């Protein structure tokens, strides 16, 4: 990819390329925008060797994902910017010793940025990795509770999705009650399963799918859920379709077959393109923009000491995550007011906060 034209277009403030031969670390760090505050974003470890150009693929990811974090933090109402780190490695092939070496070195690099970038868990990384980073820097979130962190973010993410889904139900179905509503949950990972549990406890009729048969069987037993295949679930007749697995599920093929009133789930990058969000709007399907709806984990770690300056408080975090409901309501209001799709409205909401802060900073 032509990097300079991309950077000029999307406004990244910093892109760093790091290599450490001793540990084997190969790393990209991108800081997109710090108008609202320091850049927060996870560290992804991924094997790009199958790509035609591994370095280019990793660079493309870190630039795209860091910009996404800027919008996510702004739309969540946080005074944080967007950043991301990508480590080029196969996490499954690393020895424990080599992994420790890599993340300690990564921690040193993060520390050298003096708080401009704060890291966290992402695909291919885990709490143990965050603990190693913490040995070298305080600019890390998602560390265990016994170390002053917030631990597993999944329950808070699921809670935020549930609150945002409630806002959509009130708008599209004119009820604040989940009782009797058919909700199709695609993907029963940590967040998806917890979301299904909340929906069941509030009377929803569940339809579920997952590539792991043991998870769907468990959901059928615990929640009296109907099991369908991953290929069929997005076309089931229901009030709410909740994608909680792969991205790109809203595309040219699926758009013609959706049989729901609302799409609201935890998965990232659900729209293949923004145009698909526009088409949902035209079809009368209310879409909850994923980066607004699934911000619970981000809101949760924003309460950790490395960001807030105060000891982590679970009750305060829950109160903050519950405001996902208000953010979705605001997206719906902007969508109506400007006669645009909710995905465009979410971008407007995020961009307005950044632009207002930019103007204040100039004064």
Out of 9, 67, 72, 84, pick the active-site residue.
84
| CA 187/CA 229 separation, integer angstroms | 11
φ, ψ (nearest 5 deg) of residue 137: -155, 155
Exposure b/e, 109-127, CB count within 10 A at least 16 = b? bbeebeebbbbbbbebbee
Q: In which residue are the tokens 């009130």 written?
A: 170
Helix 314-321, helix 154-173: angle, nearest 10: 30
Structure tokens at 302: 């924003």
- Residues 140, 136: Cα–Cα separation, whole Å: 10
72 in catalytic set: no
CB environment 325-362: b (16+ within 10 A), e (fewer): bebbbbbbebbeeeebbbbbbbbebbeebbeebeeeee
| Terminal alpha carbon distance of the chain | 37
Axis crossing angle, helix 342-362 with helix 324-338, rounded to the nearest 10: 100
Give me the active site residues, please. 84
């Amino acid at each position: 990819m032509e990097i300079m034209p991309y950077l000029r277009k999307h406004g990244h403030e910093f892109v760093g390329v790091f290599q450490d031969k001793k540990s084997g670390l190969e790393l990209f760090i991108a800081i997109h925008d710090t108008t609202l505050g320091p850049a927060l974003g996870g560290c992804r470890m991924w094997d790009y060797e199958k790509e035609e150009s591994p370095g280019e693929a990793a660079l493309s990811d870190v630039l795209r994902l860091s910009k996404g974090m800027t919008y996510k933090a702004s739309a969540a109402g946080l005074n944080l910017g967007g950043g991301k780190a990508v480590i080029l490695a196969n996490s499954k092939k690393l020895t424990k010793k080599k992994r420790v070496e890599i993340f300690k070195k990564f921690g040193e690099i993060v520390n050298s940025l003096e708080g401009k970038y704060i890291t966290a868990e992402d695909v291919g990384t885990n709490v143990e990795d965050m603990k190693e980073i913490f040995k070298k820097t305080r600019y890390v979130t998602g560390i265990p509770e016994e170390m002053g962190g917030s631990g597993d973010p999944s329950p808070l993410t699921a809670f935020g999705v549930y609150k945002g889904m409630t806002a959509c139900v009130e708008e599209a179905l004119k009820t604040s009650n989940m009782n009797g509503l058919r909700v199709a949950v695609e993907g029963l990972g940590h967040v998806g399963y917890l979301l299904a549990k909340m929906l069941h406890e509030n009377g929803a009729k569940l339809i579920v799918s997952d590539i792991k048969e043991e998870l769907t069987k468990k959901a059928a037993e615990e929640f009296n859920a109907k099991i369908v295949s991953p290929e069929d679930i997005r076309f089931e007749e229901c009030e709410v379709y909740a994608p909680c697995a792969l991205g790109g599920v809203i595309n040219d093929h699926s758009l013609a077959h959706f049989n729901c009133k609302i799409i609201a789930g935890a998965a990232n990058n659900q729209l293949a393109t923004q145009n698909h969000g526009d088409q949902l709007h035209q079809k009368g399907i209310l879409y909850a923009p994923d980066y607004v709806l699934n911000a619970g984990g981000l809101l949760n770690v924003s309460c950790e000491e490395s960001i807030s300056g105060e000891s982590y408080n679970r009750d305060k975090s829950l109160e903050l995550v519950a405001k996902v409901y208000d953010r979705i309501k605001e997206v719906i209001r902007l969508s109506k007011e400007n006669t645009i799709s909710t995905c465009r409205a979410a971008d407007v909401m995020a961009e307005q906060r950044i632009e207002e802060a930019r103007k204040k900073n100039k004064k």
